[in-house]
């Protein structure tokens, strides 16, 4: 009992030291961390890797950056057994061990022990059962590294829907690896994964000794050359070392020069070896699938997809159909959402009217009604449009049509110095520019990646949608052309197209300015068409609405309350309500100060206040207007009715067609999002690019708004 008591006292004293000296406990944690096993989680993009990561680690996760790069490093801990804990490292999705993009280089570094901060003890390779052939290519490459591997087979439900049956035991036998069927949604297979990890770590399982493909004749000389400088886990690993040694940090510059010279002597050709090796791997994979996989009518499904693609990917018909789909999308956003938005506006109008008459006049009533409720109304009223837009986008993704958009746009993107890979960040920016800019990491060409990051904010994101809705409703008549085409929906679509066209024009100019010559290749696998997963569509709609309410909504509400205070009080510290007094409030003084700068654009001081507050986030424009006109107006009109009846000092309407169009163009082109600027800085590693981006987008927005005033 004495030794145990001593240990207890020692541990207790250590905890006490943590309270007094925080660094002691941190050092103790680091000692413990060394005893944990590191397990890498790898796989192709969209194979279910993140779902498995979440199922295993739960809330024990943290996100950082891999050293030296902006790629996210997602790690989590989970208990393998009562006495063993593992660090699970979720590596970026990649199709091959031949790295091109930043994401793929990170995966390469970890798997080849180039990252000193992450030394792995085992690998879980996630394989999509519904796309087995492509996923097994990457799996077979990792196998030949001769490291402990476990295969986690996901998407079995989708494979079943596609008529694919897999003999899991037979697949494990053919690969020589443990293969475990999992479903992260209900945590099926997670316990089996943990048992297999424990067996792997305790050396009960070893990597197969045979190579997946016999390819000694391809790189025998290369292996001998590499081994002069570096011993690798396998001969196959030596080939990848020869292919990417110039990107690695584990060897000196002097060694790199020597290895480069020796590889040139033997005429090492990475592209030739990669091509021959890939063909051999697919030949072996084909044999495995003949033994282990039964697929009902695969040719029939491929034939249907090919016939559909003959029309949908046609250089003329395909682009016309794409425009038609976009047209229907924006018509639906405006037309379908009109009724629930009017109902929400009506309910809030009645509630505000009731509270104003029922509650005693005073500071708290005014704050609650004109500050808080007005701000909440400016948030909730746009939920229908947000849900409809994201629901339709999810349907396009699920059916497989979104990847066709990339294929269709490749020729257009090449005309401005980019390629089809750049279209995916641009399309993603319709939702939000922040994840869209992060998606540009997959672009291998550094020049194209930088240009894509700089032009992405021109795409009209969901934050602009509330602004567009209010302004279009104000200045564009609610008419239908030919009896069914909404004029307001057409204007909405034109704004989205204008953002896209401006991004292309800017890309063309930047391509001329940035003098970097580097070839790029666009390769994309087109998935088979399938019916959308309606439950996935519903979940996405709800999630996006929650993100809008709780993320953007917090900003809108906070600024609405602050603005209410600035609008209700002035230098004399007396509270007032009314037009003449509103001009003398703090907000009024500020708006009057900046009015000379924006007057050439047809904007008054109230619009000026909204322009400034919405630099935090574009959608704040609506909350700002709701607060200003709630303070300003005694009646219980809706926001659009109040703005529509607003007049200037000379009795002229503030929101004319000319002013509305100027505002729409300003918001279409201006960089009014602090989060976007922050992510651009993170991705480029410098404040230079976001500041340049802010400047040229601001100039373009100002000039376009000013031109409207000159033309009309």
Give the count of beta carbons closer than 10 Å to the beta carbon of residue 486: 20
Residue in the block written with tokens 């949608």: 465
SS3 state at 186: coil
- What are the beta bridge partners of residue 180? 152
By the 8 A CB rule, do 201 and 121 touch? yes
Please indicate whether residue 268 or residue 63 has the higher confidence score (pLDDT): 268
> Residues for the chain: how many in total?
712
SS3 state at 65: strand
> With 90 as the cut, is the pLDDT of residue 5 above it?
no
Query: Number of C-alpha atoms within 13 angstroms, CB side, residue 541?
Result: 17
Please indicate whether residue 194 or residue 81 has the higher confidence score (pLDDT): 194
SS3 state at 204: coil
By the 8 A CB rule, do 294 and 162 touch? no
Taking the C-alpha atoms of residue 481 and residue 473, their distance in angstroms, rounded to an integer, is: 16
**DSSP secondary structure string, 78-136?**
EEEETTEEEEEEEPPP-S-SS--SHHHHHHHHHHTT--TT---SEEEEEEEGGGHHHHH
> With 80 as the cut, is the pLDDT of residue 156 above it?
yes
Please indicate whether residue 277 or residue 629 has the higher confidence score (pLDDT): 277
Specify the pairing of strand 164-166 against strand 61-65: unpaired
> With 50 as the cut, is the pLDDT of residue 69 above it?
no
Phi, psi of 301, rounded to the nearest 5 degrees: -70, -40
By the 8 A CB rule, do 664 and 621 touch? no
Closest Cα partner for 132 from 153, 148, 150?
153
Most confident of 251-255, 291-295, 345-349: 291-295
Q: How confident is the model at residue 28 (pLDDT cuts 50, 70, 90)?
A: very low
Specify the pLDDT at position 506: 93
Cα 649 to chain centroid distance, Å, stands at 46
Taking the C-alpha atoms of residue 312 and residue 404, their distance in angstroms, rounded to an integer, is: 8
By the 8 A CB rule, do 154 and 295 touch? no
Taking the C-alpha atoms of residue 103 and residue 86, their distance in angstroms, rounded to an integer, is: 23
Cβ neighbours of residue 213 under 8 Å, at least 6 residues apart?
140, 144, 277, 280, 281, 284
Helix and strand totals (H; E) in the chain: 33, 11
Taking the C-alpha atoms of residue 140 and residue 124, their distance in angstroms, rounded to an integer, is: 13
Please indicate whether residue 342 or residue 60 has the higher confidence score (pLDDT): 342
Q: Where are the domains of the chain?
A: 21-201, 216-295, 297-712
Closest Cα partner for 278 from 180, 141, 398, 142?
141
Write out the H or E segment, with its range, that includes residue 440: none
Of the given ranges (119-128, 294-303, 513-522), which has the lowest mean pLDDT?
Answer: 294-303
Average pLDDT, whole number, for the chain? 76
Specify the pLDDT at position 234: 78
Q: Which CATH superfamily is 21-201 part of?
A: P-loop containing nucleotide triphosphate hydrolases (3.40.50.300)
> With 60 as the cut, is the pLDDT of residue 579 above it?
no
Mean per-residue pLDDT, 644-661: 84
Mean per-residue pLDDT, 61-66: 47
């Amino acid at each position: 009992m004495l030794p145990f008591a001593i240990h207890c006292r020692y541990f207790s004293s250590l905890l006490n030291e943590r309270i007094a000296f925080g660094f002691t406990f941190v050092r103790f944690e680091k000692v413990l961390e060394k005893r944990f096993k590191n397990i890498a989680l790898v796989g192709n993009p969209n194979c279910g890797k993140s779902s498995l990561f979440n199922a295993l680690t739960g809330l024990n996760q943290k996100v950082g950056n891999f050293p030296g790069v902006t790629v996210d490093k997602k790690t989590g801990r989970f208990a393998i057994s009562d006495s063993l804990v593992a660090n699970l490292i979720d590596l970026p999705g990649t199709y091959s061990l031949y790295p091109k993009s930043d994401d793929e280089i990170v995966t390469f570094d970890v798997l080849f022990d180039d990252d000193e901060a992450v030394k792995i003890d085992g690998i879980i390779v996630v394989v999509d059962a519904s796309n087995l052939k492509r996923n097994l290519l990457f799996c077979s490459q990792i196998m030949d590294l001769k490291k402990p591997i476990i295969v986690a087979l996901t998407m079995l439900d989708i494979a079943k829907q596609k008529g694919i049956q897999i003999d899991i035991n037979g697949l494990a036998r053919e690969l020589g690896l443990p293969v475990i069927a999992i479903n992260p949604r209900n945590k099926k297979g997670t316990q089996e994964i943990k048992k297999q990890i424990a067996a792997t770590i305790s050396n009960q399982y070893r990597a197969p000794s045979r190579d997946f493909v016999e390819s000694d004749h391809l790189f025998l000389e290369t292996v001998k050359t590499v081994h002069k400088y570096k011993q690798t886990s396998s001969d196959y690993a030596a080939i990848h070392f020869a292919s990417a040694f110039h990107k690695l940090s584990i060897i000196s510059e002097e060694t790199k020069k020597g290895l480069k010279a020796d590889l040139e002597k033997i005429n090492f050709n990475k592209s030739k070896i990669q091509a021959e090796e890939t063909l051999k791997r697919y030949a072996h994979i084909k044999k495995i699938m003949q033994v282990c996989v039964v697929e009902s009518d695969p040719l029939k499904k491929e034939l249907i997809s090919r016939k559909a693609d003959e029309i949908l990917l046609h250089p003329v018909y395909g682009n016309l159909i794409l425009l038609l789909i976009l047209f229907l999308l924006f018509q639906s956003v405006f037309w379908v959402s009109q009724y629930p938005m009017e109902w929400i506006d009506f309910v809030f109008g009645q509630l505000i009217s009731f509270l104003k008459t029922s509650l005693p006049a005073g500071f708290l009533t005014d704050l609650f009604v004109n500050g808080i409720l007005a701000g909440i109304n400016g948030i909730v009223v746009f939920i229908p449009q947000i849900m409809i837009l994201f629901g339709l986008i999810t349907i396009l993704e699920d059916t497989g049509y979104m990847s066709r958009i990339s294929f269709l746009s490749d020729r257009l993107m090449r005309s401005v110095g980019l390629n089809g890979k750049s279209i995916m960040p641009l399309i993603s920016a319709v939702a939000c520019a922040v994840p869209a800019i992060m998606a540009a990491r997959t672009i291998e060409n550094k020049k194209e990646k930088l240009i894509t990051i700089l032009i992405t904010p021109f795409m009209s994101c969901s934050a602009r949608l509330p602004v567009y809705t209010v302004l279009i409703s104000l200045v564009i008549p609610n008419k239908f052309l030919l009896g069914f085409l909404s004029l307001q929906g057409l204007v909405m679509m034109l704004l989205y197209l204008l953002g896209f066209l401006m991004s292309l024009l800017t890309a063309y100019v930047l391509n001329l300015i940035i003098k970097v010559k580097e070839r790029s290749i666009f390769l994309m696998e087109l998935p088979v068409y399938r019916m959308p997963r309606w439950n996935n569509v519903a979940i996405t709609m709800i999630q996006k609405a929650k993100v809008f309410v709780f993320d953007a909504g917090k900003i809108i509400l906070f600024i609405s309350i602050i603005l209410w205070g600035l609008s209700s009080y002035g230098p004399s510290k007396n509270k007032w309500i009314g037009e003449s007094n509103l001009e003398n409030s703090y907000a009024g003084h500020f708006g009057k100060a900046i009015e000379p700068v924006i007057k050439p654009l047809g904007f008054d001081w109230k619009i000026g206040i909204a322009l400034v507050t919405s630099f935090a986030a574009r959608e704040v424009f609506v909350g700002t207007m709701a607060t200003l006109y709630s303070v300003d107006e005694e009646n219980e009109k809706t926001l659009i009715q109040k703005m529509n009846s607003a007049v200037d000092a000379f009795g002229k309407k503030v929101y004319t067609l000319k002013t509305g169009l100027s505002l729409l163009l300003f918001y279409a082109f201006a960089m009014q999002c602090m989060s976007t600027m922050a992510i651009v800085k993170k991705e480029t590693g410098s404040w230079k690019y976001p500041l340049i981006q802010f400047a040229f987008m601001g100039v373009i927005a100002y000039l376009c708004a000013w031109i409207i005033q000159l033309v009309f």
